[in-house]
Homo-oligomer: A and B are copies of this chain.
Amino acid sequence: MSRVTINDIARRAGVSKGAVSYALNGRPGVSEETRHKILDVAQELGWAPNRTARMLSGSRTETFGLVLARDPRTLGSEPFYMEFVAGLQSELSRRGYALLLQLTPTAENELELYPRWWSERRVDAVVVVDIRVSDPRVAALGELGVPAVFVGDPAMTGGFTTVWTDDATAMASAVRRLVELGHRRFGRVAGTPGLSHTRVRDLAFTQAVAAEGLTGTILHADFSDVAGGRATRELWDHPEPPTAIVYDNDLMAIAGLSALSELGISVPHDVSLLAWDDSALCTITHPKLSAMHHDVMAFGAHVGRRLFDLLVGAEPAAHLDSTPVLVERESTAPAPR
C-alpha cells in the first residue's frame, strides 16, 4: 500500500519535486493553479507524507518525550499520571504530534535517557515531572540544550519553562477550612520528601498551622498505599493524635481510611481525612473522601500547549495552572469535642 512519494506526484502532475513540496506544505513558490493540480493528484494517489523523511531534513521529529520514573506498581494505582498523559495527549494529537513515553524504575535511568533521546533526535522537547529539590535534571537538560517544560515549583526549575499549581495557597485554604470546622491538631501524610511539591506543601502546612497557633505533625511516605497506611497508623499512635489528616494524594488517603477503619476508628466522627488531586478513587470509598480537587487532565493539556510554545521560540516563563480547591464530601466534619 501507499508507497506513493512526492516523486510520483511530481511525475504525474508534470512538475518538479520542489514544486510539489511547496504546494503540499502550503507555502509560496507555486501558483494557485498549480497548487490545486498538485493537491488533486496527491489526493488521487492517496499520498501521505513519510514522517521519517520529513524529520530527516526538517530536523523536527514531531514527538515529545515523557519519562515517568517510579515503581510501576505505584504508577498503576496512581491515577494522576494516566490523567495527566491523557490531557497532554489531547493537545499533541490534535497537531499530529506523538508522545514518546518511557517508564523507568529509577531516576538514574531517566538521566541516561535524555542524552540518548537528544543525540538520536528522537524528540523535539521533553516534559519533566516529579521535580526534586536541586534536581540534577535541570543542569543535565540545560547542558544538552533540550527544550523542556517542567512541572513543579518554578523556584526549582532553573529558568526552564514551568507549569505549576499554587499548592501553598491550596494548602493554606485547606487548613483554614479545617480550623473552621474546629480542628486543632493536624496531621499530614506527605509524599516523597525529596520532591519539590512535597516541600512546598510541607512548608505551607507548617506555616498555616503555626499561623493559627496550633500543632501539626508531618510524616513522609512515598505515595504508595502501604506507606500511606503505615503513616496513618503512626499518627494515630501519638499520645494526642490529630483530628484531621491531610494527604498528598488519593491513594494514601484511601489506605489511611482503610487503616483507620481497621482500628475501629470512625471517619469523619473521630478524625477527618482530606485527600489530594481528587481522582475517581475519592468517590468509591465509604465514606467518600473530601479532597483538594485539581483538574489533572486540564493540567496535562496546559503543559502540552507550553510545549508547542517552546517550538516557536517562546521565552521561558512560569505558568500558573488552576489552584486546587476543596471539595467537601463525607470524610471531613466538625472536630470531635
Contacts from A to B (Cβ < 8 Å): 1-2, 48-53, 55-56, 61, 72-83, 85-87, 89-90, 93, 98-104, 115-116, 118-122, 144-145, 224-226, 228-229, 251, 254-255, 257-259, 261-262, 279-281, 283-286, 296-297
Pairwise interchain contact A52-B50, C-beta atoms closer than 8 A: no
Q: Identify A284's interface contact among B53, B55, B258, CB under 8 A.
A: B258
Q: Please give, as numbers and ranges, the residues of chain B lying within 8 Å of A229 by CB-CB distance.
A: 284
With beta carbons under 8 angstroms apart, the residue of B52, B80, B281 that contacts A56 is B52
Interface contact A77-B279, CB-CB below 8 Å: yes
A-side binding surface: helix, strand, loop or mixed? helix
How many angstroms from the CA of A159 to the CA of B216 in the assembled complex? Answer: 62
Partner of A103 from B78, B89, B103 at Cβ < 8 Å? B89
B251 and A284 form a contact (CB under 8 A): yes
Question: B284, A2: Cβ atoms under 8 Å?
Answer: no
**Can you name 14 A-B residue pairings with CB atoms under 8 Å?**
A1-B118, A51-B121, A72-B87, A72-B297, A73-B83, A76-B80, A76-B81, A77-B279, A85-B101, A98-B100, A98-B122, A101-B101, A226-B283, A281-B281
Q: A76-B79, A77-B281 are in contact. List 8 more A-B contacts (CB 8 A).
A: A1-B118, A1-B119, A48-B120, A76-B279, A86-B103, A98-B102, A101-B101, A228-B284
Q: 3 tightest A-B contacts by CB?
A: A72-B86, A48-B119, A76-B79
